[in-house]
Amino acid sequence: MTRTLRVAAISPDIRLGEVAANVARIADALTRAGSDGAQLIVVPELATSGYVFHDAAEAAAAAVTREDPLWRELSATLPEGTVAVVGYAERDGTAVYNTAAVLTRDARIGDYRKAHLWGGEAALFTPGERAGEVYDTPIGRLAVAICYDNEFPEVPRRLALAGADILALPVNWPLVPRPDGERAPEVIQAMAAARSSRLATVIADRRGSERGVAWTGGTSVIDEDGWPAAEQAGAETASATLSLRPAGDKSLPPHNDLFADRRPDLYS
């Protein structure tokens, strides 16, 4: 039996180091998406802090703890039963992580720390110890990965095998050259991963630019067959109502099944 889920990927105006102002803009965007009926809302990677830091000290200065009062401010914007995934720079002792918080109005469900660090991130952040995570939430089993994590096919496949219903993917995708008329390569990779594991994916990307880095504006919603259900290149919001099969249903009638047909013994 399929079910429907209203989702939104939002990309508010994020400015480097302006944590309080960023949180206010995120709260406003969450409020509007929740008022529009979104049951899952995804916010970009490092949304509270910005991304293009000069050094580790600057990143640490914009990092916050899991206990910071800002989380109560953001949770309070969410309707009952809605789940939000918000990227932030997390300070834990002397370590700083590139993290995504999973929030509801009444609870903090979890915090996923990015495992695969891209480029200069390795000089700023400590890598996480799990390649994506799956959380039990009011909307079902929610997978969370961050940006570069999803470029390793093993990650979305692992999350789908773990019973995820849908993947939330906060990202900061720097704009790269591509042929005229083509989607960003990261979007194409996400489409392929969604299709191969029947795992709908909600991508929240940055827009505009920061310290000379232009962002792709790849905010989009990809359905479980791998097709874009909503794309908002350069705009603030992409929203869609998705039809989701049960997580364990990977059947391809009349003869096949995406997971049952796997032969892991041949892949090593």
pLDDT at res. 25: 98
Residues of the chain with pLDDT under 50: none
pLDDT at res. 210: 98
pLDDT at res. 261: 97
pLDDT at res. 268: 87
pLDDT at res. 217: 96
Please provide the DSSP assignment of the chain as one string: --EEEEEEEE-----TT-HHHHHHHHHHHHHHHHHTT-SEEE--TTTTT-S--SSHHHHHHT-B-TT-THHHHHHTTSPTT-EEEEEEEEEETTEEEEEEEEE-SS-EEEEEEPSS--GGGGGT-PPPSSSSEEEEETTEEEEE--GGGGGSTHHHHHHHHTT-SEEEEE---B-----TTPPPHHHHHHHHHHHHHT-EEEEE---SEETTEEB----EEE-TTS-EEEE-TTSSEEEEEEEE--TT--EETTTEETTTT--GGGT-
pLDDT, tens only, 178-219: 999 999 999 999 999 999 999 999 999 999 999 999 999 999
- Residue 148, judged by CB atoms within 10 A of its CB (0-12, 13-18, 19+), counts as buried
pLDDT at res. 48: 98
Domains and CATH numbers, the chain: 3-266 (3.60.110.10)
pLDDT at res. 232: 87
pLDDT at res. 183: 96
